């Protein structure tokens, strides 16, 4: 069985982002970019499944500008067997990404598609669900545990939901989106980074895949959130209780 993993290049999670003065977006030039943390977890899970002998190949795919190839190389260095890059400039919303993924799934025919539960830039949390809908595959979102039964062609997924953990069982092929607690992604070692340079990355354009990138959303503006007014540092518990009682009136 083949596993496909979708990965996204985003502003590094530790960067304090700045909103552009013209309110068209967030400054991304000369800002450190990395693989979306949830995508790293998705890839790690795919690699572990392959290493346990339940999958034969892990294909990493990414959509976006030319630099997405760097992110794919990171994925290849972690251990993915090969990459696919769909070069698309301009804004790619989850619906377009889901349509591209659907086409790639039709070409590659993986038994499992794993994605992160959300990208930390747009915070959408949609792509996995949308792709599953378009493919008419079952979905196991916000996964914190994945158990594959190759014999029965079933995957059991523990999902992090609002009231705890929910367990579902899905027939393969299926879509899984990963939560933070699924695993601890590995670091790429130097030899593997070197090896990754010779791994193949196939390129497509949305036209070649016959996907029209159109959008039914337009960004009107991006602004800074309202600032909180400066707080005060208190010196004792008594003072804190007094403030909460008489100034903030919350207890």
Partner 1 sequence: MASRTILEAMKNKRSFLFPSSPRFSIFSTRLGSTLVVAEHDGGAIRAPSLSALTATTCLPDSGSSVSLLLAGSGPSLHQAASHAASCHPSISQVLVADSDTFKSPLAEPWAKLVHMVQQRGGYSHIIAASSSFGKNVMPRAAALLDVSPVTDVTGISDSHTFVRPIYAGNALCTVRYTGAGPCILTIRATSFPAPQKSVDSKSNEASISQVDLSTFDEDLGKSRYISQTTQEDERPDLGNARIVVSGGRALKNAENFKLIENLAEKLGAAVGATRAAVDAGFVPNELQVGQTGKIVAPELYMAFGVSGAIQHIAGMRDSKVIVAVNNDADAPIFQVADYGLVGDLFEVIPELLEKLPEKK
Instruction: Name the minimum Å distance from CB 40 to partner 1.
Output: 14
Q: Which of 89, 190, 225, 246 binds partner 1 (CB under 8 A)?
A: 225
Structure tokens at 220: 């009107």
190: contact with partner 1 by CB under 8 A: no
Give me the phi and psi of 130, to 5 degrees please: -65, -40
Q: What is the DSSP letter of 145?
A: E
Instruction: Name the minimum Å distance from CB 191 to partner 1.
Output: 29
Instruction: Name the minimum Å distance from CB 89 to partner 1.
Output: 19
57 vs 122, beta carbon nearer partner 1: 122
Residue pointed to by tokens 């790639």: 104
Range 155-184, binding partner 1 (CB under 8 A): 156, 159-171, 174, 179-181
149 vs 194, beta carbon nearer partner 1: 149
Q: Which of 154, 170, 178, 141 is nearest to 47 (CA)?
A: 178
10 vs 59, beta carbon nearer partner 1: 10
150 vs 181, beta carbon nearer partner 1: 181
Q: Are 84 and 26 in contact (CB under 8 A)?
A: no
As beta bridge partners, residue 112 has: 3, 174
As beta bridge partners, residue 148 has: 155
Site string for partner 1, 125-144 (x = CB under 8 A): xxx-xxxxxx-xxxxxxx-x
What 31-36 contacts at long range (C-beta under 8 Å, 24+ apart), as own/partner pairs, is 33/9, 33/67, 33/70, 33/71, 34/9, 34/10, 34/71, 34/74, 35/7, 35/8, 35/9, 35/10, 35/71, 35/74, 35/75, 36/7, 36/8, 36/9, 36/10, 36/116, 36/119, 36/120, 36/121
204: contact with partner 1 by CB under 8 A: no
190 vs 232, beta carbon nearer partner 1: 232
26 vs 107, beta carbon nearer partner 1: 26
Total residues contacting partner 1 by CB under 8 A comes to: 82
85: contact with partner 1 by CB under 8 A: no
Length of the chain: 251
Range 50-69, binding partner 1 (CB under 8 A): none
79 vs 140, beta carbon nearer partner 1: 140
């Amino acid at each position: 069985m083949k596993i496909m993993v979708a990965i996204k290049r985003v502003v590094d999670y530790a960067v304090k982002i700045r909103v552009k003065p013209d309110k068209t977006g967030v400054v991304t030039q000369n800002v450190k970019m990395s693989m979306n943390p949830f995508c790293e977890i998705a890839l790690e899970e795919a690699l572990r499944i392959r290493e346990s002998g339940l999958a034969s190949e892990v294909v990493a795919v990414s959509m976006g500008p030319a630099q997405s190839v760097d992110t794919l190389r990171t994925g290849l260095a972690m251990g993915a067997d090969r990459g696919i890059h769909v070069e698309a400039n301009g804004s790619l919303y989850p619906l377009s990404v889901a349509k591209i993924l659907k086409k790639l799934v039709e070409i590659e025919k993986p038994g499992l598609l794993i994605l992160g539960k959300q990208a930390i830039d747009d915070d959408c949390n949609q792509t996995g669900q949308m792709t599953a809908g378009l493919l008419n595959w079952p979905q196991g979102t916000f996964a914190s545990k994945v158990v594959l039964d190759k014999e029965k062609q079933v995957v059991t997924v523990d999902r992090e939901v609002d009231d705890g953990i929910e367990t579902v069982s899905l027939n393969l092929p299926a879509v899984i989106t990963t939560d933070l607690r699924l695993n601890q992604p590995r670091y790429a070692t130097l030899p593997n980074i070197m090896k990754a340079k010779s791994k193949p990355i196939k390129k497509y354009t949305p036209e070649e895949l016959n996907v029209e990138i159109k959008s039914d959303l337009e960004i009107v503006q991006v602004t800074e959130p309202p600032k909180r007014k400066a707080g005060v540092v208190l010196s004792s518990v008594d003072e804190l209780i007094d403030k909460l009682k008489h100034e903030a009136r919350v207890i």
